A and B are shown apart, each in its own frame.
Chain A
Amino acid sequence: MQLIRTPSRRRFLQGAGILGGMAATLPAWADSFVDLDLPGGPNQRELTTDFPQKGSMILQRTRPPLLETPFEVFDRGIFTPNDQFFVRWHWAVIPEQVDVAAFKIAVRGHVNQPLSLSLADLLGMPRVEVAAICQCSGNSRGFFQPRVSGAQWENGAMGNARWTGVRLRDVLDRAGVKAGAVAVRSSGLDDPVVQAAPKVMKPLDVDHARDGEVIVAFQMNGEPLPLLNGFPVRLIVPGWYGDYWIKMLSNIEVLDAPDQNYFEAVGYRVPDTPHASVKPGETGFKTVPVSRMVPRSFFTNVTDTTTVNAGAAMPVRGIAFGGDAGVSQVELSTDGGRSWQKTALGPDQGTYGFRQWSTQITAPPSGTLTLQVRCANTKGEVQPAEPNWNGGGFMRNVIERVQLTVA
């Protein structure tokens, strides 16, 4: 392999403080920073190991925590380690202690028999396991142009894990969903600081909630969930964005009317247009809740700072996912998208998980080499060549590109 790599696209600045007004107060405990690649910046973030049960993470916000997975983690395998799985909370009142003996999930609303399920109850029920990606609907928001407000993620607000738990359907069947139920709304132990603020909750259509794929998970990659990822149980909604994956799941409410809560009726909505895309400033379009994920693919072993030897053969690889369907194929272009060649796909570990792709290319004699990668899912949906835009910074899935330098 003739690949010459710079240490990382991310430049680790040991002990340097370049945070504008913050520089003078750079504390001794801030040991390193990371540079993102967002257009126009700000790009500097702290790399932190200060969060419980978490390894090195990109600090987007301390309270409530927003922690991004450093992208090099995705080159190490298709399952994201629990201690580097991204973290995203809306509200700051998050229990620091969970007593597993006292923890209960209430199942209530439009049911025959309201339940208060203990963890022992859940552990005694039939189990399923699914590999599935949890991705923030605002993943990659920092790349939107014009820029939009919100967490300024790069591409690391996603992760893939093996989730073990029980089917939501089985939980609902225990309670007995009454005729006329339309939705199943979930919420967790987290609360807003100001009690009048809307609690985080998300509904699923009752048929979706009972399709057997949605699970109440108590294990992640064979271990208990880190508290910041939703210990002791979180909802897993394969193929759907993370806002539905309620953490510290404590409340399951069957509704007999459409949900009107803030995070369904106002927040997390996207234009009801192709790719959820509108022109900046455009108004008057219909909106719908963010829901199913769309296909994406990424390079994991090359970046814009990679240098390759002229004429050398080099391996290129990455990860892909199909969104709410499996990966059909992943293709690479070396000519600006005029032609595409298929790449080899790694083992299929589950419809809703990451799939590794790999191929080999030959570097040109000089200049630069631009690579593009695109994924098609089994429903025939392909990543678009043009980036989408919406005011929330949601559902980015444009074809990724890297420009390598030939030396």
Chain B
Amino acid sequence: MKNNRRKSIALSADAIAGGTVAAVGVILLAMATQDGAAGQSALAAPPTPAQPTPAAGAPPVAPIPSSVAGGGTTLHSVSVTFPHSDSTFPGGAKADAINNDCLICHSAGMVLDQASLSRAAWQDEVDKMRNAFKAPFASADAPAIVDYLVNLKSVMAQSARRQPDARHGAVIVAQGTAAGAPPCAQCHAFNGVSDASGAFPRLAGQSAFYLASQLHDFASGVRASAIMSPVAKALSPDDVADVTAYFAGVDAPFLPLKTPDAALVKRGEELAKAGGPEKLHCDNCHGPGGSGEPPVIPYLAGQYARYMAFSLQMWRQGFRKNSPDAMGAIAKKLDDQDIAAVAAYYQQVNSPLKAAAK
């Protein structure tokens, strides 16, 4: 479980590598910070919590903390951050369905701590999740999830997982692999910030599980991409684990992008926080202010608007087939304006320009 949504580079890498970060890793990671030195001031600040934006011309909203008093008692406003769970269901491909479908709403811990239960008992649980609690997964996934849960104890016993090597990941990011994968840094930059064009997503600090599942889907073609499919196919499972561990551990600055259209941002914030008729609000799954709910749900805060809009269009038009029941269904309820608005909103959440304006 991680306490902070974004950890410092050294701490994250240390956690990933189990305290065995060697000198070479430290040097590579130090390069990662220098890469984005222009944004260092923003790096020092924690991600900005989502706060209501006052309408133009309205008096400024009283900032938190505020307080209320009466009868000798004073109550102060509270702002906290909940920790995240990093745990996923072990077992590789056998766990794909349960990881992708179940971790949207709850972490794995309580499920892993269940006693051995009968197939009927697990079937009841999965039925309850789908029918009563409206878990957004296809009925076709249910048998795989039930099978996994029935065999949970043996899967856990067999799954002695290799420890990801973020140092090796950094080498792949910088140099590519002998098997033909190009250096990730060519498009995504060594620190995973990519570039201001927004053509490539920001990867820095994204959860390793999420990044690995996307590489898996690029390789299988569930997520089609002429660029990423051959790259993903050239990476071994260990390479994927190492590269994603590396990017997950990078705490890189956000680029000072300009957001030209305040009205569009405002509309996007409304959709993100409150949704609309028939439209799910994004923050429910993606965390407050789009800060992410790792391991399964990626952060959107500070992601490039161009990339987010492109991804939503791919889902909407059916070209991106991973997450058909969640993102596929949601994207089809959004029109072009909605997509432009939420993308514009999330891009500016972590902008250093915004922080400087405060």
A contacts, CB < 8 Å to B: 19-30, 38, 40-42, 45-46, 48, 50-53, 59-66, 91-94, 96-101, 118-120, 122-124, 127, 142, 147-149, 151-152, 164, 191-198, 218-219, 224, 227, 231-232, 262, 266
Contact = CB atoms under 8 A, between A and B. Distances in A.
Contact of A22 (B67, B87, B117, B164): B87
B14 to A, nearest CB: 6
Contact of B83 (A38, A50, A196, A231): A50
Interface string B66-106: 11111101011111111111110011000000000000111
A132 to B, nearest CB: 19
B337 interface: no
A124 B70 contact: yes
Nearest to A94: B82
Given A20-B90, A28-B19, A100-B77, A152 B68 contact: no
Interface in B150-171: 155-164
B107 A63 contact: yes
A21 B108 CA distance: 13
Contacts of A148: 121
Chain A residues touching B, majority SS: loop
Interface string B1-15: 111000000000011
A218 B80 contact: no
Contacts of A266: 132
Contacts of B62: 101
A21 B159 contact: yes
A93 B66 contact: no
Contacts of A119: 68, 70, 75
Given A62-B83, A151-B110, A224 B18 contact: no
Given A152-B115, A195-B284, A29 B2 contact: yes
Interface string B214-254: 00000000000000000000000000000000000000000
Given A21-B91, A62-B85, A232-B75, A195 B275 contact: yes
Interface stretch (B133-141, B174-182, B308-316): B133-141
Given A127-B71, A219-B73, A62 B105 contact: no
A66 B83 CA distance: 12
Given A61-B109, A92-B105, A123-B75, A194 B136 contact: yes
B336 interface: no
B18 A28 contact: yes
Given A66-B110, A101-B77, A198-B132, A51 B115 contact: no
Nearest to A152: B113
B64 interface: yes
Contact of B70 (A60, A123, A227): A123
Contact of B75 (A50, A97, A192, A218): A218
A93 B16 CA distance: 28
Interface of B: 1-3, 14-16, 18-19, 49, 62, 64, 66-71, 73, 75-87, 90-91, 104-107, 109-110, 112-117, 121, 124-125, 132-136, 155-164, 275, 280-281, 284-285, 288, 293
Chain B residues touching A, majority SS: loop
A119 B71 CA distance: 11
A59 B174 CA distance: 39
Contact of A29 (B15, B78, B124, B293): B15
Contacts of A262: 132
B138 to A, nearest CB: 14
Contacts of B113: 42, 45, 60, 152
Contacts of B114: 42, 147, 149, 152
Given A21-B91, A62-B83, A193 B160 contact: no
A62 B107 CA distance: 6
Given A61-B107, A62-B84, A63-B84, A99 B117 contact: no
Contacts of A97: 49, 64, 77-80, 288
B21 to A, nearest CB: 11
B77 A60 contact: no
Given A21-B158, A21-B159, A92-B106, 7 more contacts: A21-B90, A22-B87, A24-B160, A25-B163, A48-B83, A53-B80, A194-B135
B73 to A, nearest CB: 6
B133 A197 contact: yes
Given A22-B90, A120-B70, A218-B75, A46 B163 contact: no
A98 B110 contact: no
B1 A62 contact: yes
A64 B90 CA distance: 20
A51 B70 CA distance: 29
Given A20-B159, A61-B106, A52 B68 contact: no
B1 A46 contact: yes
A12 to B, nearest CB: 17
A101 B66 contact: yes
21 contacts: A20-B156, A24-B163, A48-B83, A60-B109, A61-B110, A62-B1, A63-B293, A64-B106, A65-B82, A66-B110, A93-B284, A96-B81, A98-B79, A100-B77, A101-B77, A123-B69, A193-B104, A194-B284, A227-B78, A262-B132, A266-B132
What are the 4 closest A-B residue pairs judged by CB atoms, nearest first? A123-B70, A21-B159, A21-B90, A52-B80
A97 to B, nearest CB: 4
A323 B158 CA distance: 45
B115 A41 contact: yes
Given A21-B161, A27-B86, A29-B3, A62 B109 contact: yes
B304 to A, nearest CB: 25
Contact of A21 (B2, B106, B160): B160
B110 A152 contact: yes
B334 to A, nearest CB: 15
A198 B1 CA distance: 28
A100 B74 CA distance: 10
Contacts of B105: 91-92, 192-194
A218 B280 CA distance: 32
A65 B1 CA distance: 12
Contacts of B2: 29, 50
Contacts of A120: 68-70
A46 to B, nearest CB: 7
A59 B112 CA distance: 12
Nearest to A44: B113
Could you say which of B68, B106, B133, B161 has the most chain A C-beta atoms within 10 Å of its C-beta? Answer: B68
Given A192-B105, A219-B73, A98 B78 contact: yes
A63 B137 CA distance: 19
